[in-house]
Amino acid sequence: MRNTLRTPFWRAAYQSLPRTVRARYLSQIESAERWELALDASIEAMARAKGYLSCLFNTPSKPRSAH
């Protein structure tokens, strides 16, 4: 392994493969990790944007009763 995997989950997944096939699947595991990290970052960014817009427009978090 070239220390390219950053998350413990993907390092463990790589280590769980038999040594004879690790090199074959390293690029796929690296790609999956990049996709996961990008997806996590985009979800966090959307959550921050939602919070910012909520504060900006001062929208209530729960709908209020009309009665």
Q: Is 28 contained in some domain? A: yes
Q: Is 66 contained in some domain? A: no
Q: Is 62 contained in some domain? A: no
- Residues 23-27, mean pLDDT to the nearest whole number: 95
Q: Is 50 contained in some domain? A: yes
Residue 52, domain extent = 8-56
Average pLDDT over the chain reads 89
Q: Do residues 32 and 10 touch, judged by C-beta distance below 8 A?
A: yes
- Residues 25-36, mean pLDDT to the nearest whole number: 97
Distance CA 30, CA 25 (A): 9
Q: Is 43 contained in some domain? A: yes
- Residues 42-61, mean pLDDT to the nearest whole number: 86
pTM, whole model, 2 decimals? 0.73
Q: Is 64 contained in some domain? A: no
The fraction of the chain above a pLDDT of 90, given in percent, is 69
Q: Is 31 contained in some domain? A: yes
Closest CA to 30 of 51, 7, 47: 7
| Alpha helices (H) along 1-67 | 8-16, 19-57
* 27-37 per-residue burial string, b: 16 or more CB within 10 A, e: under 16: eebbeebeeee
